[in-house]
Amino acid sequence: MNKEFDIIENYFSFSKATREVPITVGDDCAIFTPPFGHTHIATSADLLIEGQHFFSDVNPKNLGHKALAVNLSDLAAMGAEPIGCLLSLALPSIDQSWIAQFTEGFRNLSEKYMCPLIGGDLSKSKMGIIINVTVFGGLNVNFRRSATSAFMTRAGARAGDDIWVSGNLGKAHLAYTTKRDNPNDLAKYAMIFEALELPEPRIDLGKSLIRRATSCIDISDGLVQDLGHIMKSSKKTAEIHLEKIPYDKNLEKQFSKEQIREAILSGGDCYELCFTAPPENRAIIERLSDSLQLKLTRIGEVSWRFNIDRERRERVKRRQELRNKFEKNNYYVDTTPFTPIPHAQGKPRPPVEVYENGELIEVPNGGFQHF
């Protein structure tokens, strides 16, 4: 059995037709409708290439899990409910055992988050294993305010917002560098490999942040780099505090302070969420942490992109808080001039500033680089 259609029928036809997805794997196209109550479709795609995004000796089951997880993480960052996914796979040879393990990992995660496989493609590759996954999610959005503020995007952060991250950071990067630099240190890698090979998409958190967070992103390319994307889109500067960034303290037994610092600030392949939210939502987010049984840590605050005097900053901040309060109740009409970004004084600040014990420190350069 080595024909394409036989392989698809035996290994990739595990998702059954539903009311929302009446036509799935086996036809020329999949057909789906947004689930009841959803008004918009969110979609994202990621490409994973052997040697560039995963090691050649990775466990196939874990690779199947990760191939879908990294895409579901993008839906989580938008607060979307998974609807379905497409999988395109190019293999240098047909290894039925490898395919069976890969699809087992993929299927387990798709069933956990109700994201059925609804189509895709299978081909031969001369360049190693190539995986492409596209996901679709549903959003329930109303436009009582404005279209731009209705979605949880990278451009919504406001001066005075808190900056939060989920879970612990750094472990995936340390697993990657351990595997790359010390491939024979199996005991050390075994302690931390799950963070790299089996990331957990924060779907439930993302959905819960709708109308509570002002912006959100997954930090797959590193905290400083991805938080910087939010700040650039929002035209603000983030002030984060190194001592508040959460990580597993057991890492200190195996790695130096410098290695951990680099991992939590610039290490990639971490699929936790970083988001901003108004200070008045702190209690809500803390209760959300308890209900989801997921650590949510406040690591800093959003500030102006340009330096302004403290008195003016506090005055504008109070004005913004009043505006936020009334906008939340959908009846605020601004009849006086208001400038969201104060007049520039001097050079703009960087998108992200990192402080350690109150002192501004240099951030590791480069961000996350793939293999």
Tell me the domain boundaries of the chain: 3-139, 161-306+349-360
How does pLDDT run across 7-48, given as a tens digit for each residue? 766 666 666 767 677 766 777 787 888 877 788 899 999 999
Confirm whether residue 323 is marked as ligand binding.
no
Confirm whether residue 309 is marked as ligand binding.
no
Tell whether the model's pLDDT for residue 198 goes beyond 90.
Answer: yes
Confirm whether residue 57 is marked as ligand binding.
no
Confirm whether residue 368 is marked as ligand binding.
yes
Q: How open is the CA angle 251-257-259, to the nearest 5 degrees?
A: 75
Distance between CA atoms of 283 and 60, rounded to whole angstroms? 42
pLDDT for res 110: 96
* Domain 161-306+349-360, CATH number (from 3.90.650.10, 3.40.640.10, 3.20.20.70, 1.10.3720.10): 3.90.650.10
Confirm whether residue 234 is marked as ligand binding.
no
Confirm whether residue 218 is marked as ligand binding.
yes
Quick one: CA dihedral 113, 90, 22, 11, positive or negative?
negative
50 phi and psi angles, rounded to 5 deg: -55, 130
How does pLDDT run across 282-333, given as a tens digit for each residue? 999 999 999 999 999 999 999 988 665 555 566 666 777 776 666 555 544 4
Confirm whether residue 74 is marked as ligand binding.
yes
Confirm whether residue 6 is marked as ligand binding.
no
The fold of 3-139 is 60s Ribosomal Protein L30; Chain: A; (3.30.1330)
Strand residue runs (E) in 148-227: 162-166, 215-218
Distance between CA atoms of 228 and 239, rounded to whole angstroms? 11
Give residue 342's pLDDT band: very low, low, confident or very high (50, 70, 90): very low
Same fold, 3-139 and 161-306+349-360: no
pLDDT for res 330: 54
Confirm whether residue 226 is marked as ligand binding.
no
How does pLDDT run across 230-261, given as a tens digit for each residue? 999 999 999 999 999 999 999 999 999 999 99
pLDDT for res 363: 84
Nearest by Cα to 136 from 32, 62, 220, 208: 32
Confirm whether residue 367 is marked as ligand binding.
no
Confirm whether residue 40 is marked as ligand binding.
no
